[in-house]
Structure formats: C-alpha cells, structure tokens
Amino acid sequence: QSALTQPRSVSGSPGQSVTISCSGTSSDAGGYNYVSWYQQHPGKAPKLMIYDVTKRPSGVPDRFSGSKSGNTASLTISGLQAEDEADYYCCSYAGSYTFYVFGTGTKVTVL
Amino acid sequence: EVQLVQSGAEVKKPGESLKISCKGSGYIFTNYWIGWVRQMPGKGLEWMGIIYPGDSDTKYSPSFEDQVTISADSSISTAYLQWYSLQASDTAIYYCATVPARGGWFDPWGQGTLVTVSS
C-alpha cells in the first residue's frame, strides 16, 4: 500500500489561506469518509486537527477545515497564523487488510 | 483527561530485544483501540499496527507484520510494542495513540519513545 501523496511544502503570508491536498485511490481516501489530518511541530507528537474528512475536534480553531472530492482530500487553513507553521499529515482508513495509510507530509511555512 | 504516557528513550545494539510501553489513563482502557506509528529520523509517519485491549484483537500493517509484536495488559492499562531482534533501521521515534473505533482517527497521542539502535 503506497502512502497518500501530499505536496512537500506550501507557504503563505499571515492572514492568507493555504490548501494541502492528499491524493489517494478508491481503496483508501476515495473509498471511505475516514480521512484525518494531523499537525506536528518540530520535536512534538502529532495533534489531531480534522477527522472523518470534515469534523473538527474541540479546541481546534475554526480556520482549519477539511473536504474531499473523489480520491483527494484537502485541508485548508484560512487566516494563516505564525503558529500554524508545522508539518501536516493526512491519514485514511484503507480497508480491513491494510487498515491505515498516512500521507507523505507537507511542511507549511508562514512567510 | 485522556492521556497516554510512553516509556523512556532506549539505546540498543543490533540483535537485541526491546519492549516499549504506552500507559493509558483517564478512560476505560478496554474500550478503545491503541495504534502504533513509526517516525524515522527526518521522515513521515507510518502506521504499524493496532490492538483492541478488550479482546486483544490485533491488526498489523503488511510492512510491519513480521517485524514487531503488539500486545496489551488491560489489568495495568498498558499497551506494548516489542522487537525480538533489533536492526539499525529500527532507529526511530515510536508513538502510540488511542483510536475510538476501527477505521477512526488517532487521538490523543503519547509523547513518543525514541529508539536508537547502534553498534
């Protein structure tokens, strides 16, 4: 099972919006509404930002939103802030054999 | 508050065995899956496997199936990740995380355990 494909990096100025794509197949991201997104700051454990494609856990700012079209899920950060600079990973359920697959990761830089 | 606390950093030699732990608190340990995720130095996240402490049902990523063993002791709310013969390529940070249901998301995460394998 190959990793989900994400851009290596995206960047934006404070206040701008950035979108991170997560491209998979009909066997993972496209086949299930079980896509989640994680933020990881250097030296820290990952933190859940979005689950079930679009749902936001309590405490996650509403400038983070998720969506999906076909085999590609996306995370959008609106109103980019300095503290959003981190690595972001998508993850999808991939059926009862593979179970889970993570994305390749995207570094978000706030200019 | 749901919390996972992992065991401390380890330094091992190739061929040695190792068992690291992940202790849950603040919730009913047997009601949630626990997953393990590897992060090699400077690299991304890789799902390794998942266990349901309620009945010890365990699923492994095909990439890790013959490399590690996942177990749990519900009497002390602790999950384990074990190697019988470490290799240098096992050097990584290993995270555990709770999963509310099969197919669900990973949250919260433990703080990670750094495993270094070097001769």
- Structure confidence by residue, pLDDT tens digits, A15-45: 999 999 999 999 999 999 999 999 999 999 9
pLDDT beneath 50, residues of chain B: none
Instruction: Calculate what percentage of chain B has a pLDDT beyond 90.
Output: 96
B59 touches chain A (CB under 8 A): yes
Chain B residue with Cα closest to A8:
B44
B112 touches chain A (CB under 8 A): yes
For B107, which DSSP code? -
**Is the CA virtual torsion A66, A105, A87, B68 positive or negative?**
positive
Residue A98: list chain B partners with CB under 8 A: 61-62
Distances in whole angstroms, Cα of residue B61 to Cα of each of A1, A35, A93: 9, 17, 12
- Structure confidence by residue, pLDDT tens digits, B1-26: 999 999 999 999 999 999 999 999 99
- Interface mutation vs chain A, best among B95, B105, B107, B109, most A CBs within 10 Å: B105
B37 touches chain A (CB under 8 A): yes
Contact criterion met (CB < 8 Å) for A102 and B37 = yes
pLDDT of residue B67: 95
Distance between CA atoms of B20 and B110, rounded to whole angstroms?
A: 12
Contact criterion met (CB < 8 Å) for B108 and A48 = yes
